[in-house]
Structure 1
Amino acid sequence: MIPAFLLRALTTSLLTATLCVAAALAPARAQSSDKTFDKVTFGTNWVAEAEHGGFFQAVADGTYKKYGLDVTIVPGGPNENNRMLLIAGKIDFFMAANTLMSFDAVANNVPLVAIAAIFQKDPQVMLTHPDAKVTKIEDLKPLTLFVSKEGMGSYFQWLKSEYGFDENKVKPYTFNPQPFIVNKQSAMQGYVTSEPFAVEKAAGFKPNVLLLADYGFNTYSTLIETRRDIVEKKPDLVQRFVDASMIGWYNYIYRDNSAGNALIKQLNPEMTDDLLAYSVAKMKEHGIVDSGDSLKNGIGAMSDERMASFFDKMVRAGVVKSGIDYRQGYTLRFVNKAVGAELRPKN
């Protein structure tokens, strides 16, 4: 089983709309018409949204073209499987939900490797009512907890091992916030970039938010994965894709992201300007994309120490087996070069 703890961790397929239209939106300055581009296909793990914004930005503003890449992004959905398409050689890169997927690949001898980590902090949160007076993670213990099946197999096991949480307090979370909204003595899982916004819109109150990453759940999130054969045979292509993606993320988070947002809305008509703005603001506020190691080494940064720390926590929680060589699931070869860091605001 591939461990994941959000519906967004469901993977995607080529049956969904692709971004072939992106070339028409890219600036004319990108490259001349006689330039030969390397064609690359990148699959996300959910429908187009701000949490994928840097990749869309790099398509829309011509950054990938500047790096000699003709990138097609394949957005995901709830009944798709892009990760299997990556394994089968049908696409070149995939957006993995979290580090647990890398551990799982090693455990099951799947020849995938993580080459960059876009989110330094996982966006997973627990939401509570203001009346519950929750100020720290231990305050969640007496509450009814709405947790998904995927969450029970991953982050909740960490809550049990690190903080002594009780499964008897858990009720199934079906991605419907209504049970949480009506129960003031409850907490609900979500992403810091979206669920608090949705609850406030639906219920008229601003929920309290506890970001699990701030309490030690130190998985990377939104990683770029590829196959080992691509790393071995096409390292220059991998480096260019990583570098251009990092620049796309700097531009999306810190600069004019209107081109990326226009592409997101084109592919996901349900996406709104206010949600896009909210998501970007929360990514910046909480250091989801740019904090910790990335402040020195650039967006996408990873470290052996961080990987070892999270692996040890998951072993203690019983989520992964101690005997696997988790180091085979990632490489630092293409990151920690501070590519694009000059685009970060100075103040």
Structure 2
Amino acid sequence: MLTKTTRGKHFRLWGLSLIVTSVMALSACGSDKNGDVSQGSESAGNQPAEVKVTKVTQVTNWFAEPEHGGQYAALSKGFYKDAGLDMTIQPGGPGVSASQIVASGKAEFGMGQADEILLARENGIPLVAIAATFQKNPQGIMYHKDKYKDISELNGHKVYVGSGVAFWEYLKKAYKLDTVQEMKYTGSLANFVADPESATQIYVTSEPFTMQQEGVDVDYFLNYDLGYKQYGNILFTTEDYIKDHPDIVKAYVEASIKGWDYYKDNSEEINKVMQEKNPDLKLEAMAFGTKAQEALVYGGDAETNGVGYMNKEIWEGLQKQLVDIGILKKTAPIDEAFTNEFLPAK
């Protein structure tokens, strides 16, 4: 049974379990629902001056957790409010598609994976990545400690993984995993624990902590380091929203990045805020996740270009990999899929 601490939700099954035709119909209808609300303030002449605050919603990819730390920091510390945004964070969960919700106009911003953005675009859903809160995606393959030194050694053994998951299709081809016994991933780790020869898909910020608590020694391969280089927890919106409301997009991105900068040195404070939203996730687990993700968020290109930065070569490489494994049918202009223009100046 999936709980708010189960991390299998991040491994979306291909291909993009949206009903594309219905999403496009909703998207065509649009939703310019930027409800501006006025807040009175006193001008020099004691006359109320109207300050417009725009109501917006962002949909995350699961219940509140460290991977959303910057977003909740921006909300709780008033960074969104200071930017003129009346922000609602709508948590994801089983059966919640941020892509579909944003495409239909029911939310302005969403959070997902880079490969989701590319597949959505090929299916006519014009999503655009506007920041990458993770330079390296936390997806990986976990195994019992000291069992494997190379992922090719998984041949002949059971691997619990979602059917058709893009990163797994890449790994199978790149490392010739022809004789792996693919087992259905359900979110439970019981079968993995019972079989020391097996491996399972994970989020490196979560399941290793669960195993630590159960006294099971594990290690993992990070998919990014194995060559499947994609950004994680992409913030995205639609082409139309960027065109119609570039000022709001810029305000959202800048406030979000300010939140991530704050979270780096104040994670304990913000984790307590998130636990109020997701009490099933204990503070000890949050502390583990915060430490595990630090290099993934603030390392790499983020060291010199700031949190959220995206490299064109990474996007092009990912697109090529998805074409090579048949997830995408063809390449498309990659500059249309992402932009750094709304990131704070460095």
- Aligning the two structures, in what range does the TM-score lie when normalised by the shorter sequence? 0.7 to 0.9
Q: Which of 320-329 and 269-278 deviates more? A: 320-329
Q: Distance in 1 between matches of 2:96 and 2:330?
A: 31
Percent identical: 32
* Counterpart-to-counterpart distance in 2, 1:305 and 1:336: 21
- Would you say the 8 A contact 2:137–2:230 is kept in 1? yes
2:150 aligned residue? 136
The question of whether the paired residues in 2 share the 8 Å contact of 1:116 and 1:224 is answered with: yes
Say if 2:115 and 2:318, in contact at 8 Å, map to a contact too: no
TM-score of the superposed pair, with normalisation by structure 2: 0.83
**TM-score where L is the length of structure 1:** 0.82
8 A Cα contact 2:9 2:93, kept in partner: no
1:186 and 2:198 matched: yes
CA shift for structure 1 position 325:
3.7
1:242-287 per-residue CA deviation (whole Å, 9 max, x = no partner) reads 11101111211x2123442232111111011101100000012xx2
Instruction: Name which of 136, 145, 157 aligns with 2:159.
Output: 145
Aligned to 1:88: 104
Which residue is 2:238 aligned to?
A: 227
Q: 5 Å matches for 1:150-161?
A: 152-161=164-173
Counting only pairs closer than 5 Å after superposition, residues 1-347 of structure 1 correspond to structure 2 as 6-8=8-10, 35-96=51-112, 98-132=113-147, 134-149=148-163, 152-166=164-178, 168-202=180-214, 204-252=215-263, 254-284=264-294, 287-335=295-343, 337-338=345-346
Shift in CA distance, 44/69, structure 1 to aligned 2, threshold 3 Å: same
Distance 1:334 1:308 in 2: 20
CA positional deviation for 1:108: 1.0
- CA distance 1:131–1:184, shift in 2 (3 Å): farther
Name the amino acid aligned to 1:108.
Answer: N
Deviations 1:142-184 (A, max 9, x none): 43211122xx331111112211112642111111101110101
Unmatched 5+ stretches in structure 1:
13-32, 339-347
Give how far 1:81 is off. Answer: 3.2
Residue deviations 1:320-342 (CA, integer Å, cap 9, x gap): 1224444422223223733xxxx
Deviation track 1:176-223 (CA, whole Å, cap 9, x = no partner) reads: 101110101111110000011112223x12211211111211011100
Residue identity opposite 1:162 in structure 2: A
Aligned partner of 2:31 in structure 1 is: none
Contact kept in structure 1, 2:135 and 2:231, CA below 8 Å: yes
- Contact 1:142/1:169, CA 8 A, preserved across alignment: yes
8 Å CA contact 1:301, 1:336 repeated in 2: no
Aligned Cα RMSD in Å? Answer: 2.3
Q: Aligned partners of 1:290 and 1:166: how far apart in 2?
A: 36
Q: The residue matched to 2:251 in structure 1 has which SS?
A: helix
Measure the CA separation in 2 of the matches of 1:271 and 1:191. Answer: 15
> Could you tell me whether the CA contact under 8 Å between 1:126 and 1:211 is conserved in 2?
yes
Aligned length: 307
Unaligned residue ranges in structure 2 (runs of 5+): 1-6, 19-48
Q: In 2, Cα distance between the equivalents of 1:79 and 1:305?
A: 32
C-alpha distance after superposition, 1:283-318 (max 9, x if no partner)? 12xx21122211111100112111111111222222
Bigger radius of gyration among the two: 2
